[in-house]
Structure 1
Amino acid sequence: MLDNDMTQHEPAGAPLAPAAPRARRGGAPRVLSKKKGAWIVAAGLTCALAGVAGISTSAAAATPTAATVLPSDTPTPPGGGPRSDPSDGGATGIVDAVSDSGFTFATATGVEVTVDETSTTTYAKKNRDASAKIVKEGESVLVLGLVDSATITATHVVVQPGGDGGAAAAEAAGVIAFQQGTPSPDKSVGQIPDYTEGEGTIVNGTTAYKATKAAQALVPGGIADRVVQLSNGEYEVHNIAINWPHHVFVSKDFKLLGYN
């Protein structure tokens, strides 16, 4: 069982700095209508910001000007490189629809995420165990589980009372929403290890969730679709569905190091 204190949801500290009607769920899940590959870029919703000493940025978060929906058969998620096999990760956002078997939410950059719940999904609110009934429209949530493009089969759902779905943190971190045809900028913030994409070992379970939680607390907006442990023991949390950043680096003790 993962610790219930999975996110920070009250803004704190200074902005990040350039580096040098719903029924009770039960039984087998019924799949929601999938939105895999359908990425909606719209105005942001919000989560919480916890400060990290010595890291900040002056980059402003991009504000999407119009919704962009890609075809449902798009093989590669917008932003973040080629699609990977389903791995443990997660995302933060505001719940916009609820059903008997799951819900959908929108991230701070307007990415629509489908959440499938199962009989083993756990729930927490205010650092206490709870039931599926706590998930309601308008709530800020952190969802951790198996990520397959824009669908998460939830292992843990954490409701963040008073949270804003990630908007304040995403803006402070300079997260850039996906805009089709716009290349990702070449910039870095904080401490970036000597890393080449494809290196390391994909991790799952509690370790992946702790790293995802740390990354989503301060650099939300995208979907963390995998976590990789590097040779030095640190972690790279890989983001899709945003233009920048695609890589968030977390220390061995799950503290934010930097991103690019």
Structure 2
Amino acid sequence: MAKIRNLAACALNRLQKESQLEIPEARIEIRALLRHALGDASPAWLIAHGEDTIGEETRHHFELLLQRRMQGEPVAHILGQREFYGREFAVTPDTLIPRPDTETLVEVALGKIPQAKEFHILDLGTGSGAVAISIALERPHASIVAVDRSHPALVVAQNNGTRLGANNVRFIESDWFSALNNQSFDLIVSNPPYIAQDDIHLQQGDLRFEPLSALASGADGLADIRRISASARRYLNPQGWLMMEHGYNQADKVAEILHQDQYHNIMTIADLAGHGRVTMGQKD
């Protein structure tokens, strides 16, 4: 029987060589898989019990999980969940896997939402519901509508909302604004598709396992951002904000789109890596 620490070190070496992941990222993934194999052990338990030996059944379970990851399957799909903004969200192949970059969108949105005042928010393309639910739980006085055109994704989002107690979110099946009729909002947020449809990264890594419709958007990746920008003013209250996540090198183009659609006070907020990640504009 192997010690937990030795098993983790061996698995890290194998995964890093097979997947070409950077060592810090590979280490995080190995720990997540090992904790799952050990019955969802806490990170602290894993550190404290590194010298413990692992039973054959548990070792075999871990090996199966590791093999799935080495074949390219995302850890979020293997475990069925992903942490986002300090909470665990269920994910499936029907949803985009929530990423740390998108926490910037949540932070920027929270900066515009009053702490204890009624405020109406729309989340376009909610996927797993990570953005809408995170905002809802941080601002319980706000009212959030979360839409997605994918019914399977909405089921995941609704289940996440129920499990996490986000009672101030309403989920609607809608292709962007199509099912919203005459509703209006103080803030519209979106993490839309923004990768060019012929980008080679779509055939690499975790992206191969995620819904293409949640990733790719036209020849330059900006087709859905243009569509959202052009339509959002109709659904925004006076002085309302539109904010959208985008690629690390798209900030200037997104700002120009908002300018052409007559938004004001346009600005871009950087993510933790220093890349322009969220661009927003205000209706007059």
TM-score computed with the length of structure 2 as normaliser: 0.24
Please identify the structure whose Cα radius of gyration is greater.
2
User: Greater share of helix residues, 1 or 2?
Assistant: 2
Q: Which has the higher contact order (CA 8 A, sep 6+)?
A: 1
**Structure with the larger strand share:** 1
